[in-house]
Amino acid sequence: MRLHYLRSLILVIGILGLFSVCIESKPKTENSKKHYLKYQYSISSDRPDYYLSSIEKIRDKSIAIDTVLPIRWGIVSHHLLIKDLIAEYFLRLSKVAHPKTIVLIGPDHFSRSQYQITISKLPWKTPFGILQPDIEIVRELIDSRIADNDENAFYNEHSIGALVPFIKYYFPKARIVTIIIRSDATIKEGLALAKFIISLKSPDVLPIASLDFSHYKTSEIAQREDSITIDILNHFDISRYKKAFVDSHIALYTVMESCQMLHTYNLKIIHHTNSGIESGKLKDPCTSYFNLWIW
């Protein structure tokens, strides 16, 4: 009986010991949270064919080379329904701009970040290789409290993930700074970001806003809304930025404010369309697109 008791006691002690080891070896979420990611991933990061189908389609297209330099801002869609047009936009851009760093700013569509303006420190895995961050600019933005780092917020964020493969393909030596903006960001935060952007060395650094415009309307209504938006853009009318039909008002405000500071008011629309026109479903709710640059 005593032997049986001792064996039971040893068994219990062994189980408790094993349980304590398991608890100790379990990763501490708070301690590992900031370190478990090594890369951010583009959309279709393992499928070069998905992007090459568009890249090859427009490769031999006759593209007139503009002599407008330096380009101060780009605006481009992140909706891959029009990936052929996005490929053409970046092809055109690569003929007139040769930045060492591209600052890509888009909406935080799902408000995943705990911060209003969020930045990634990580490299991006694309179908065409690793797109490295410009860590010096990233650190400056974080140190100045203009942006905060939250890597989890970039998971499946298509405003960035849809475009980094095109950037890697057309600007293979460039570095990237990726920023997303929540819908509750303020003018104050947009102004601070605009001031920082104009302090960067141009043309070595090219900022691009990843934006889509009218949403959830028929093609006809979207075109009417777009006429309001383009009037605001053409006049760089910051006072009306909230009246634009766009998926990130503060990103648009940042573009317009920095252009005002630079006295840069030339705008060229490369593409203007909507998903209703592109799909032939003119009565369905659609999204509209402007691909343009400003110099």
- Sequential DSSP letters for 207-269: EEEE----EEE-HHHHHHHHHHHHHHHHTT-GGGGGGS--S-HHHHHHHHHHHHHHT---EEE
d(CA 42, CA 272): 25
d(CA 30, CA 249): 33
d(CA 102, CA 176): 5
Phi-psi region of 135 (alpha: psi -120 to 50; beta: other; left: phi over 0): alpha
Predicted pLDDT of residue 201:
81
Tens digit of pLDDT for each residue in 69-90? 689 999 999 999 999 999 999 9
pLDDT-derived band at 61 (thresholds 50, 70, 90) equals confident
SS3 1: coil
Percent of the chain past pLDDT 70, that is, above it, reads: 85
Predicted pLDDT of residue 15:
44
Average pLDDT, the chain: 89
DSSP codes joined into one string, 71-123: --EEEE---GGGHHHHHHHHHHHHHH---SEEEEEEE-TT--SSSSEEE--S-
Predicted pLDDT of residue 69:
66
Spatial contact of 271 and 89, defined as CB atoms under 8 Å apart: yes
Tens digit of pLDDT for each residue in 268-278? 999 999 999 99
More confident residue, 113 or 26: 113
Predicted pLDDT of residue 66:
64
Longest dimension (CA), the chain: 96
Would you state the structure tokens that stand for residue 191, as one six-digit string? Answer: 């102004």
Predicted pLDDT of residue 23:
36
Predicted pLDDT of residue 28:
38
Predicted pLDDT of residue 70:
83
For 214-227, what is the mean pLDDT?
97
Which residue do the tokens 């960067």 mark? 200
For 14-18, what is the mean pLDDT?
45
Predicted pLDDT of residue 172:
98
Predicted pLDDT of residue 24:
38
d(CA 56, CA 58): 5
Residue 130 has pLDDT above 90, yes or no: yes
Q: Residues near 140 by Cβ (< 8 Å), separated by ≥ 6?
A: 196
Backbone angles phi, psi at 177, to 5 degrees: -125, 120
Lowest mean pLDDT of 39-48, 55-64, 252-261, 262-271, name the range.
Answer: 55-64
pLDDT-derived band at 60 (thresholds 50, 70, 90) equals confident
Whole-structure pTM value: 0.86
Question: What domains lie within the chain, and their CATH numbers?
Answer: 39-294 (3.40.830.10)
Predicted pLDDT of residue 59:
85
Would you state the structure tokens that stand for residue 134, as one six-digit string? Answer: 């410009």
d(CA 54, CA 13): 64
pLDDT-derived band at 22 (thresholds 50, 70, 90) equals very low
For 241-250, what is the mean pLDDT?
98
245: Cα separation from own chain's centroid: 19
SS3 169: helix
Predicted pLDDT of residue 203:
86
For 252-279, what is the mean pLDDT?
96
Burial of 136 (0-12, 13-18, 19+ CB in 10 A): exposed
Predicted pLDDT of residue 65:
66
